[in-house]
Amino acid sequence: MAQRTISFCLPIIPTAQKRPRFFSKGKYTGVYKDNNQINNEDGIMQLLEQYIPTEPLRGAIQMRVYAYLPLPKSKPQWWKEAALGGYISHTTKPDLDNLVKNIKDCMKRLGFYHDDSQISKYIDIWKTYAENPRWFIELVELDEPKTKKEYEEIIK
């Protein structure tokens, strides 16, 4: 049994998934995505297209996500050096879970996998500061037994 791994960098500033917008017209209420969110997803998906697997990952998936975010321009030089050295963590918005949600949704829509529920293991997810903002993403299709015979071969 062989594992499939997909890993790549996207040279774009990581952004968080925005909450849906709600509206009402008379008795009708509805939900829609903000135009900025739609444009952001379109940009991410254009960059992701070159990494789409020929067939979606199946079964359990292990995921690693690094979000490298831009340094604030308002901070002094010593602070920027400390942040780049890993001494200062990124503790402001965007929230880490919303960053991951944004990239996961785009990958699902493009057919990297069938459903978010397949992601059974996060091995490393963080956000940090960087001079070159970008995403690093890795997906590993976990090699799990599909039959009793495969299971018995593993435990021998």
Domains, the chain, in order of start with CATH, read 5-155 (3.30.1330.70)
Q: H or E element: which one contains 37?
A: helix 35-48
User: Tell me, what's the pLDDT at 2?
Assistant: 57
Rounded to two decimals, what is the model's pTM?
0.86
User: Tell me, what's the pLDDT at 17?
Assistant: 84
Residues 6+ positions from 151 with CB-CB distance below 8 Å? 145
User: Tell me, what's the pLDDT at 32?
Assistant: 72
Q: Which residues of the chain fall below pLDDT 50?
A: 1
The CA distance from 105 to 17, in Å, is: 9
pLDDT digits 0-9 by tens, 42-54: 999 999 999 999 9
User: Tell me, what's the pLDDT at 98?
Assistant: 93
In terms of Cβ atoms closer than 10 Å to its own Cβ (0-12, 13-18, 19+), residue 18 is middle
User: Tell me, what's the pLDDT at 135?
Assistant: 97
Scan for tokens 């968080």, then name that residue. Answer: 16
